Structure 1
Amino acid sequence: MPSNAHEMPIEFVKNRPELVTRLLEDEFGVDLPPYEHADMASENCTRFKTTNFYSDRVVALRDGSQALMAVIAEVQRREDTRKRYSWPVYIATVRQNLECPVMLIVFCPDEKTAVWAREPIDLGQPGMRLVPFVVGPDEIPVVVSAEEARELPELAVLSALAHGGEEEKILVACAEGLKTLNNDDFSVYHDYMVSALRGAARENWDALMANPTFTYQSDFARKYISEGRVEGKAECVVSALRHRGLHVSDEVAERISTCTDPDQLDTWHARAFSANAAEDIFDNPGASTPDQ
């Protein structure tokens, strides 16, 4: 099961395909075709029955139903020589399936992995090399404008994680962007922020969330950040499970909602992002009382 840290940038692309087009245009200077809209295309990159290949996400830039260009979005957290063989397969297959040019953008959380991912891939044929567009910490733009954060909250979250320790106004802009999200997305994005921020950035974020003058549009969001209220934490657990497409039975929902231990709820919330079934968040799924 992919980790939460692996899934979130791809979740951002799924929720907002414009994220990859914004990065390609602003950070890499790519001239994209004058497309009408961007949507998700199939990630299945299979051509041979004996081997299945799946990219993380594929964004199609379309004019009506016609694909003008496709962008494969991948997350790479460490060096993996196999990707230097599978990435060209992704591009060739998506190109054949959609009959349009294809580009590859790779999200890397650290600079060491980004340096590796930027290395050209020699395809053997003279003059044919694949050079991925790599988004490392240095390629994440600094978002300090509340207006920009509201327009593209996913980019604001990435900015906060990459640069949030530098200026508090980056975190303020991100918080403004989170205001625009629905309850489920707010829960997932905020959890990702809390788990990934470190040091001064985490301290500043916690202080911002506790500031009574900073109000959220969502009742759920206010409940989530106000004094660690147990009911808010319980709703977060259920929301995270359902956001991942897992079935939450009445019994599981009741067990979560009746738990009064905030630390236990935090544990269940963390497990919700890797569980194969809702019941898996419990140490003992058959137990009738909260785990200690």
Structure 2
Amino acid sequence: MVGSQHEALHRIFQHDPGMFARTFRELKVPLGVPSEVALLPTDLTEIRPLERRVDTLLRFTTSAGRFLLLVEAQGECDPDKPSAWTYYLAHAHAKYRLPAVLLVVCHDRGTASWAAKTAQLGPSFWAGSLTMSPLVLGPDNVPVVTDPATAADDVPLATLSAMTHAKDPSIDAILKSLAAALRGIDEEDAHIFAELTELGLGNAQAAKTWRHMMTVDPAFFRSETSQRLREEGETKAVVRNVLRVLERRGFVVGDDVRDRITSCTDLDVLERWLDQAVTATSVADLFVDGRHA
């Protein structure tokens, strides 16, 4: 059965597909900056009685071309996995006609070391006829992120650091840095990363530490930084809506009007303009009451 800790290890990549570029740089794999990342169906079943489902399947588009990235979370050594992973790679390649690479994410060094071994599935006299060698993320190659500024620069990587270093002596410092970083991002994203972290820590003692950190401060997600970011997001959304209504109603929005609307930071004024944009007979009507602008 798929456990919550297992889910967290690969779902973090689904939440932030661009994380793969950063992850690959940590692994010293020369991946260009992706121009597009598409989440593909994970069902690789070829015939109904044999269900094959990879954890996460992404299609990357870079300046060098397209390729598939298959992500598997692995919590323990499993002798049946190498053949399954080989199947995933071969079938994904055949289905999408693109090069494919497998990334395995592990909690502990033992599992990571086992997963990193090249699987020789061909016969001894011609072993090279079928081999499989995945990329592996684990405690040895995921950085220990204990600096709050570093965590703030890359929250997904800081989250993955907490998951893969749950038993590291520095885990408390990792969690404190991650908690500080979450205060500065969008509230919804912060909740997602906080939950993924708790799930990814599993039954480790660090999970109790993390839950305590999330409950001791009931205003955790109501910090000044989070509030400011939310207000800025709401303001930008209303600005877009005002301009959209005017344009959809056929008004020509000159540069001076556009600048006045986009430079306004008063949410109340913007919402009043949005209401008036619906009934205005001219762009000038938008600013009939200009006392607050």
TM-score scaled by length of structure 2:
0.62
2:117 maps to what in 1?
119
1:178 maps to what in 2?
182
CA–CA separation in structure 1 for the residues paired with 2:187 and 2:210: 24
Higher helix share: 2
Deviations 1:56-95 (A, max 9, x none): 001211259x970111100111222221111111111111
Q: Partner letter of residue 14 of structure 1?
A: Q
* Pairwise CA RMSD: 3.4
* Greater mean deviation of Cα atoms: 111-120 or 70-79: 111-120
1:259 maps to what in 2?
none
Specify which of 34, 46, 67 is matched with residue 69 of structure 1. 67
1:87 maps to what in 2?
85
Specify which of 159, 162, 182 is matched with residue 161 of structure 2. 159
Q: Does 1:36 align with 2:35?
A: yes
2:138 maps to what in 1?
136
Instruction: Provide structure 1 residue ranges, at least 5 long, that are not aligned to the other structure.
Output: 223-292
| Residues 33 and 160 (structure 1), Cα distance of their counterparts in 2 relative to 1, 3 Å cut | closer
* Greater mean deviation of Cα atoms: 163-172 or 130-139: 163-172
* Greater mean deviation of Cα atoms: 43-52 or 54-63: 43-52
Instruction: For residue 221 of structure 2, give the secondary structure of its aligned residue in structure 1.
Output: coil
* 1:119 to partner: Cα distance: 1.7
**1:67, 1:98 within 8 Å by CA — same for their partners in 2?**
no
CA–CA separation in structure 1 for the residues paired with 2:193 and 2:138: 24
1:19 maps to what in 2?
19
- Which protein has greater RCO, CA pairs closer than 8 Å, 6+ apart? 2
**2:102, 2:135 within 8 Å by CA — same for their partners in 1?**
yes
**1:45, 1:52 within 8 Å by CA — same for their partners in 2?**
yes
Deviations 1:221-261 (A, max 9, x none): 99xxxxxxxxxxxxxxxxxxxxxxxxxxxxxxxxxxxxxxx
CA–CA separation in structure 2 for the residues paired with 1:94 and 1:76: 19
Instruction: For residue 102 of structure 2, give the secondary structure of its aligned residue in structure 1.
Output: strand
Q: Partner letter of residue 25 of structure 1?
A: R
Q: Does 1:198 align with 2:205?
A: yes
| Residues 38 and 145 (structure 1), Cα distance of their counterparts in 2 relative to 1, 3 Å cut | farther
Q: Partner letter of residue 16 of structure 1?
A: D
**1:76, 1:107 within 8 Å by CA — same for their partners in 2?**
yes
* 1:37 to partner: Cα distance: 2.1
TM-score scaled by length of structure 1:
0.62
**2:187, 2:221 within 8 Å by CA — same for their partners in 1?**
no
| Residues 40 and 147 (structure 1), Cα distance of their counterparts in 2 relative to 1, 3 Å cut | farther
Specify which of 198, 211, 216 is matched with residue 221 of structure 2. 216
CA–CA separation in structure 2 for the residues paired with 1:3 and 1:123: 29
| Residues 171 and 53 (structure 1), Cα distance of their counterparts in 2 relative to 1, 3 Å cut | same
Pair member with larger Rg: 2
Instruction: Provide structure 2 residue ranges, at least 5 long, that are not aligned to the other structure.
Output: 228-293
**1:109, 1:137 within 8 Å by CA — same for their partners in 2?**
yes
* 1:193 to partner: Cα distance: 6.4
Identical aligned pairs, as a percentage?
23
CA–CA separation in structure 1 for the residues paired with 2:195 and 2:213: 20
CA–CA separation in structure 1 for the residues paired with 2:87 and 2:187: 36
CA–CA separation in structure 1 for the residues paired with 2:175 and 2:17: 23
Question: How many equivalent pairs are there?
Answer: 217
Q: Does 1:100 align with 2:90?
A: no
* 1:188 to partner: Cα distance: 2.1
